[in-house]
Chains A and B, each alone.
Chain A
Amino acid sequence: MAEKKKMESTFFNMVLMLTVIALASSLTLSFTYIQTKDAIAAVQLKKTIEAIKKVVPEFDNNPYESRYVVEGFEGVEYYPAKKGDELVGTAIKTFAKGFTEDVVIMVGFDKDGNIVDTSVIKHKETPGLGSKMGDSKFKDQFKGKKPDPEKGINVTKDKGEIDAISAATISSRAFCKAINRAYKGLLKKEEK
């Protein structure tokens, strides 16, 4: 079988081919990115709405569309849940530095400031330890509690009432910190 002549590895050829391949790759990927951008955004939105549904009482508005931020509380997003014209609760996407990175949770308060429920959105805590913050055993402790306006809600080590996860104090504290941050912002907004 006759050997097909391959392109020689001259400096010019190598630079040319690498440039051509890189350009072709960038074009293809840009095209794919543009095509999928909207669908990906829709998926993210759906996830946020579902997290909101888990933590506040029934509502009939679109909390995501009515979302707001509070000055001085960057990174925290507030999603008011309404039934008709009445506010039934506020879902809040909040965060705090955990053992590794930021822990992002969705916490829901009813209109009186009691915690309805929580949902972990993102975390990189130790599997089997800090990751247990998503388990009912830990997070159900927060249900129905109203954080102290000054001290917030804390683990027993910090003179609070929450039992931390064994061997995961830092993760447990981060969970409380995130909720306290959200609550302080909520109070600030209600002051206005």
Chain B
Amino acid sequence: MNLKSELSRGFFKENAVFVLLLGMCPTLGVTGTAVNGLGMGLATTAVLVGSNIVISLLKNFIPDKVRIPVFIVVIASFVTIIELTMAAYLPELNDQLGLFIPLIVVNCLILGRAEAFASKKKLGESIVDGIVMGLGFAFALTLLGAVREILGFGSIFGVKFVAEEASTMLLFILPPGAFISLGFLTAFINKLSVKKG
């Protein structure tokens, strides 16, 4: 398998957010800043890779009729591990992301990849799929977070580049701004993908 084509798949052609339109809830909810988007994206990637590995290893032992409950228990376990680890070692990020960390369990990207990929493919392929789809998700969230932070706060990754009293487009930190930014970025990324062919 070609690493470059895999990355291109995860970041552009099959990007979870801009193309597959999965995991919209955290995408809109935590991307007020680039750092939050990146943090959430990486936490989701960790869960995705972990669950893909376990599900791929167990795929021949999971009876078909109970596969969804099994996937969910595996995913929820990884999310809880990430949640406890963040509460212990990354408290500021944990406070910022708050309720959205446990909500990773219902991020349909993870259950979707488990069902469509990890439960059918070999371990190596599943790991790679987890990494590229997860990083593509993180890329989308960081990009969206950066756009909203630049327009809404006048800063990027916490570094302000406008004057203290300068008025910024606060709309972009609020929900309507999230939808607007997401819409434009989705159109832009899809246009790019079409050109690349």
Q: Are A25 and B74 in contact (CB under 8 A)?
A: yes
Are B74 and A9 within 8 A (Cβ)? no
Question: Could you give, for residues 32-75 of chain A, a 1 whenever the CB lies within 8 Å of some chain B CB and a 0 otherwise?
Answer: 11001001100100010000000000000000000000000000
The residue in chain B whose Cβ has the minimal distance to the Cβ of A41 is B88
Minimal beta-carbon separation of B157 from chain A (angstroms): 23
On chain A, the residues within 8 Å of B77 by CB distance are 25, 28-29
Q: Which of A15-23, A101-109, A167-175 is near enough to bind chain B?
A: A15-23
| Interface residue? A6 (CB, 8 A) | yes
A192 within 8 A of B: no
Count chain A CB atoms within 10 A of each CB in B59, B74, B81, B87 and give the residue with the most: B81
A158 at the interface (CB under 8 A from B): no
Tell me the interface secondary structure of chain A in the complex.
helix
For residue A10, CB closer than 8 A to chain B, the reply is: yes
Report whether B88 and A43 are in contact in the complex, using a CB–CB cutoff of 8 Å. Answer: yes
- Indicate whether B164 reaches chain A with its CB closer than 8 angstroms: no
Tell me which of B69, B81, B91 contacts A28 (CB under 8 A): B81
Query: Given A39-B89, A43-B91 in contact, is the A14-B60 Cβ separation under 8 Å?
Result: no
Asked whether B70 is an interface residue with its Cβ less than 8 Å from the other chain, the reply is yes
Interface residue total, chain B, C-beta cutoff 8 A = 23
Given known pairs A21-B70, A21-B73, A25-B74, the reply for A36 and B62 (CB within 8 Å) is no
| Contact with B63, one of A10, A29, A47 (Cβ below 8 angstroms) | A10
Residue B80 interfacial (CB < 8 Å): yes
CB of A5 within 8 A of chain B?
yes
Report the minimum CB–CB distance from A123 to chain B (whole Å). 13
Q: Which residues on A sit within 8 Å (CB–CB) of B80?
A: 29, 32
- Whether the Cβ atoms of A32 and B63 lie closer than 8 Å is no
Q: How far is the CB of A46 from chain B (nearest CB, A)?
A: 8
Q: Verify B84–A32 contact, CB threshold 8 A.
A: yes
Q: Is A8 an interface residue (CB 8 A)?
A: yes
* Nearest-Cβ distance from residue A141 to partner chain B, whole angstroms: 25
Chain A residues with CB under 8 A of B58: 21
Which residues of chain A are within 8 angstroms of B81 by Cβ–Cβ distance?
28-29, 32
CB pair A40 B88 closer than 8 Å = yes
Q: Can you sample 15 A-B contacts with CB below 8 Å? A: A6-B59, A6-B63, A9-B66, A10-B63, A14-B63, A17-B61, A17-B62, A17-B63, A17-B70, A25-B76, A29-B80, A32-B80, A32-B81, A36-B85, A43-B87
A residues with a Cβ closer than 8 A to B are: 4-10, 13-14, 17-18, 21-22, 25, 28-29, 32-33, 36, 39-40, 43, 47
Residues of B within 8 A of A (CB): 58-66, 69-70, 73-74, 76-77, 80-81, 84-85, 87-89, 91
Extra pairs beyond A6-B63, A7-B61, A17-B63 (19, CB < 8 Å): A5-B60, A6-B59, A7-B62, A7-B63, A9-B63, A13-B63, A14-B66, A17-B62, A17-B66, A17-B70, A21-B70, A21-B73, A28-B77, A29-B81, A32-B85, A33-B84, A39-B89, A40-B87, A43-B87
